[in-house]
Amino acid sequence: MTGPLVGDVFGAVVRDAFAVARGVGVRPLAGGRLPRPVIEIVERDDGLITGVMADGYLAEPDLWPAHDRRALDLVHGRVLDIGVGAGRAALALQERGVPVTGLDISPGAIAVSRARGVRDLAHATVEEHAASGQLYDTFLLMGNNLGLLEGRERAPAFLAALARMASPGARVIAQGTDPYGTTDPVQVGYHKRNRERGRFGGQLRLRLRYRDLATDWFDYLVCSVDELSELLAGTGWELAALDATDAPYYVATLVQTEGLVHAEGHRV
Amino acid sequence: MTGPLVGDVFGAVVRDAFAVARGVGVRPLAGGRLPRPVIEIVERDDGLITGVMADGYLAEPDLWPAHDRRALDLVHGRVLDIGVGAGRAALALQERGVPVTGLDISPGAIAVSRARGVRDLAHATVEEHAASGQLYDTFLLMGNNLGLLEGRERAPAFLAALARMASPGARVIAQGTDPYGTTDPVQVGYHKRNRERGRFGGQLRLRLRYRDLATDWFDYLVCSVDELSELLAGTGWELAALDATDAPYYVATLVQTEGLVHAEGHRV
């Protein structure tokens, strides 16, 4: 018995989903013959496992959840699309004439976004990209990517990197999900065990799997708005607006607190 | 870090797929709100992982692969549907007025088949069911369930149990898949390692997972027709007909060799 290889799971998923959507290239087949849908596997550290249909990563805006479309309407100026994925948001912004840079740590995602027409891409973490000296007016975290804040350990460094790339008046547009509206004992028990370990209830410990590949385990944050506010305290960012029309999904708009804007002003 | 619970994965999958199809009962939701497709996870002992859309288990015959419809036309007399699952084949046979018993080791599958209208069901292994003294004219193994032969260790006992339930002239109608038409190095390497361990190349070592449940590891055979013939030698069953129109998928018809029919004749 062996195990999966550590690799670029998300990149492989969107590469195959793109091949299926185009009908070109190597595509997953059942029994070497019947087309097979591309399904990303998300495994949680308590053994919970979920299959996610990958076609959503390539969807046109008319197929998005309404809150994703509204999030896109909140951007202004130069946009950094953090976790560009297969480029669905970056392509929609480009079509509107909005200047957008797609950022991703997945080489496969960068390759698919480029093949689909995203013009400005960077394969880097937020810290690495901040070193490039580029400034942005909007940091866009679509598709639950508020989760990239991970938790109390990671969030300050992540938000500080955004602050280093922030033009005056910059905002973060981040989509999240409140995980606490459930009575499912599997979820309620997980949240409880997380809190007992000093983590946020919805601080998920996950790895992604696809075919023979797996990622390392990583944290991904699903949090309430109150928890988000707690996480922002002292980071130089604060909650300026909230769209919770489609609760439990929400779109948070963060702006820099005055002190940080001032401090950043000195650096520029 | 904990692990999944051992449980009736397939039963949970078809129960949820049935709830989704009816729009009634507890259904899987993303974020507690958006409907989520029911996806069964199949994990192989080399780390390969695959998501399978569960709606196929409930599909009407017009949505089946053509070889499944042709397999159904090959039955005669009293039918034992081995691995009845969510009852798709048993329901189609009932509609034709064919007497059919649905057999499954999954309690959840039995419950869903009953709720969908399958009238005669048994929750048992083939050995346990053989002890009931019922006789059948056709043993139906749909949906790749030739795989239930597992390999050289399990096949003789499985086929002997069918022989004990066989009316004179009984046949097995079994759908299989030849796995060797691939050049995918992940598959070719797996087949090679299997053979080095004295197993059939396509003797898959699998477990099923869904949400917080997993099965124990089990063997499931995907074999060529030549390998099937090897496996049948000395079991009292032989290959009488083969429908390979939709290769690599095939439908094998097995009949009892004369010696065994004779021996069975003494028992009746």
d(CA B210, CA B216): 13
* Complex confidence, ipTM: 0.88
- Contact yes or no for B179 and A248 at CB 8 A: no
Instruction: Name the closest residue on chain B to residue A144, using Cα atoms.
Output: B31
Q: What is the DSSP letter of A28?
A: -
Q: Residue B98: its pLDDT value, please?
A: 98
Angle between helices B9-22 and B107-116 (to 10 degrees): 30
pLDDT at B267 over 60: no
For residues A120 and A100, the answer to whether their CB atoms sit within 8 Å is: yes
**What does the block give as tokens for B152?**
């050289």
What's the mean pLDDT when you consider all of chain B? 93
Q: C-alpha distances in angstroms, B163 versus B76, B137, B223, B234, B235?
A: 16, 11, 22, 13, 9
The whole-angstrom distance between A155's CA and the closest CA on chain B is 22
Instruction: Name the closest residue on chain B to residue A5, using Cα atoms.
Output: B47
Q: C-alpha distances in angstroms, A15 versus A83, A168, A213, B11, B234?
A: 15, 37, 14, 33, 48
**Mean per-residue pLDDT, B232-236:** 96
Task: Tell me the Ramachandran region of residue B121: left when phi exceeds 0, alpha when psi lies from -120 to 50, beta otherwise.
Answer: beta
- Contact yes or no for A211 and B49 at CB 8 A: yes
DSSP class per residue in B73-100: TT--SSEEEES-TTSHHHHHHHHTT--E
A-B contacts at Cβ under 8 angstroms: 89
pLDDT at B266 over 80: no
For residues B35 and B26, the answer to whether their CB atoms sit within 8 Å is: no
For residues B81 and B140, the answer to whether their CB atoms sit within 8 Å is: yes
- To the nearest whole percent, how much of chain B has pLDDT over 90? 87
- Contact yes or no for B65 and A179 at CB 8 A: no
Place of tokens 């975290």: A141
pLDDT at B50 over 60: yes
- Contact yes or no for A212 and B48 at CB 8 A: yes
Q: Residue B2: its pLDDT value, please?
A: 73
d(CA B170, CA B99): 14
- Residues in chain B closer than 8 A to A48 (CB atoms): 4, 211-212
- Contact yes or no for B49 and A179 at CB 8 A: no
d(CA A78, CA A94): 11
Instruction: Name the closest residue on chain B to residue A222, using Cα atoms.
Output: B31
Q: Residue B25: its pLDDT value, please?
A: 77
Question: pLDDT in tens for each of the 268 residues of chain A?
Answer: 678 899 999 999 999 999 999 888 777 766 666 678 899 999 999 999 999 999 999 999 999 999 999 999 999 999 999 999 999 999 999 999 999 999 999 999 999 999 999 999 999 999 999 999 999 999 999 999 999 999 999 999 999 999 999 999 999 999 999 999 998 899 999 999 999 999 999 999 999 999 999 999 999 999 999 999 999 999 999 999 999 999 999 999 999 997 544 444 444 3
- To the nearest whole percent, how much of chain B has pLDDT over 70? 94
Instruction: Name the closest residue on chain B to residue A202, using Cα atoms.
Output: B31
pLDDT digits (tens, 9 = 90+) for B199-209: 999 999 999 99
| Residue in B50, B212, B249 closest to A186 by CB | B212
Q: Residue A14: its pLDDT value, please?
A: 97
The whole-angstrom distance between B98's CA and the closest CA on chain A is 30
- Contact yes or no for B2 and A46 at CB 8 A: yes
